[in-house]
């Protein structure tokens, strides 16, 4: 499956900040999209992004290799409609290497805890029982354009 990311319709150095929430893990190759995002950011601008946490897949499927970059699909249901989402697992090292190769400096890496207002069905059983606060679903990055 080819990635469909192409040139953005914006001038070089056009933005102070760009937000890409839960987008990159759907792309097999990050080099082109990251280069394009870097192009439209002013020097010192920020790319604020979130991706699936790389441990989520291997916690659910312990036989899979954490260090392998690979494609996988999962079944979901949205408003009663079934859908198959195809994503890419990357270890943290592959993510950070892609960011620095594209000319970004990593300013922030965050692993948020669940909101106290999160519905119980959205939490793991151990969190619901008060045994853990671990909620490794997403990673958040703030990258600065060099």
Tell me the pTM.
Answer: 0.82
Contact 20, 27 (CB under 8 A): no
Q: Which residue has the higher pLDDT, 34 or 57?
A: 34
What residues form DSSP beta bridges with 49?
20, 141
Q: Residue 132 above 80 pLDDT?
A: no
Q: Residue 2 above 60 pLDDT?
A: no
User: What confidence score (pLDDT) does residue 131 get?
Assistant: 65
Each residue of 54-110: pLDDT tens digit?
988 887 788 999 999 999 998 888 888 999 999 999 999 999 999 999 999 999 999
For the chain, domains (ranges, CATH) are 15-145 (3.40.50.150)
User: What confidence score (pLDDT) does residue 73 get?
Assistant: 93
Token pair for residue 119? 């519905």
């Amino acid at each position: 499956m080819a990635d469909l990311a192409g040139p953005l319709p914006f001038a070089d150095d056009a933005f102070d900040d760009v937000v890409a929430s839960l987008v990159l893990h759907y792309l097999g190759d990050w080099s082109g999209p990251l280069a394009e995002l870097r192009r439209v950011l002013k020097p010192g601008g920020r790319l604020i992004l979130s991706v699936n946490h790389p441990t989520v897949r291997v916690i659910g499927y312990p036989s899979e290799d954490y260090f392998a970059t690979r494609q996988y699909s999962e079944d979901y249901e949205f408003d009663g409609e079934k859908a198959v989402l195809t994503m890419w697992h990357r270890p943290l090292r592959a993510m950070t290497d892609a960011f620095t190769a594209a000319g970004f400096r990593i300013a922030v890496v965050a692993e948020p805890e669940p909101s106290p207002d999160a519905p119980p069905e959205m939490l793991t059983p151990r969190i619901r029982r008060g045994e853990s606060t671990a909620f490794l679903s997403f990673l958040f990055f703030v990258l600065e354009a060099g």
